[in-house]
Amino acid sequence: MPDDARCPCLSGDAYGACCGPVHSGDRPAVTAEALMRSRYSAYAVGHEAWLRASWHPRTRPASLDLDDDVTWRRLDIVGTRAGGPFDEQGEVEFAAWWRSATTGERGRLHEVSRFVRGPAPRPGERGPWLYVDGDVQP
C-alpha cells in the first residue's frame, strides 16, 4: 500500500502517517486503539506477519488463514476502556464491515477486543501492545 494512500483504518490520515509505520516496526502503537487500527489495516491489506507479531503468544493461532475473498470496507471504533500510553491493559470495542467478492454478501463484525502490554524491550521502557482475544457481540 502506498504511503500517500488513505489508511484502510479510515482514521483520515495517510497510510504512511498512520498504520504504515506500525506495520513496518518503525513506530510502536502508542495506544491499544492504535494497535487495533493497525490490525484491522493488516487484515485489509493482507499483512499476515503483522497480525502474528501483534498477537499475544498465549492466544496466537498456529496458522492464520486470511480469506482472500473477503474485503474489509470500513472500521468504526465504538469505544475504548483504558489502553492508553500509561496503561498495562485495555479494551477496544469496534465494528468492522466486510464484503465477499464472489457472493457479494456483506456483514459486520462487532467485537470487544482485549489488549495487554508485552515485555518491555529495555528496562524503563514500555512493552508493546498485544492483542489477546475478543468477545464477538450480537
Contact residues toward Zn ion (CB under 5 A) are 7, 9, 11, 18-19, 37, 41
Cell of 59: 492466544
Count of Cβ atoms closer than 10 Å to residue 33 Cβ: 23
Helix residue ranges per DSSP H, 27-134 = 32-45, 48-53
Instruction: Give the residue with the Cβ less far from Zn ion, 98 or 105.
Output: 98
State whether residue 119 is helix, strand or coil.
Answer: coil
CB of 75 to Zn ion, least distance (A): 9
Instruction: Give the residue with the Cβ less far from Zn ion, 11 or 31.
Output: 11
CB of 41 to Zn ion, least distance (A): 5
Count of Cβ atoms closer than 10 Å to residue 135 Cβ: 11
Instruction: Give the residue with the Cβ less far from Zn ion, 24 or 100.
Output: 24
CB of 1 to Zn ion, least distance (A): 10
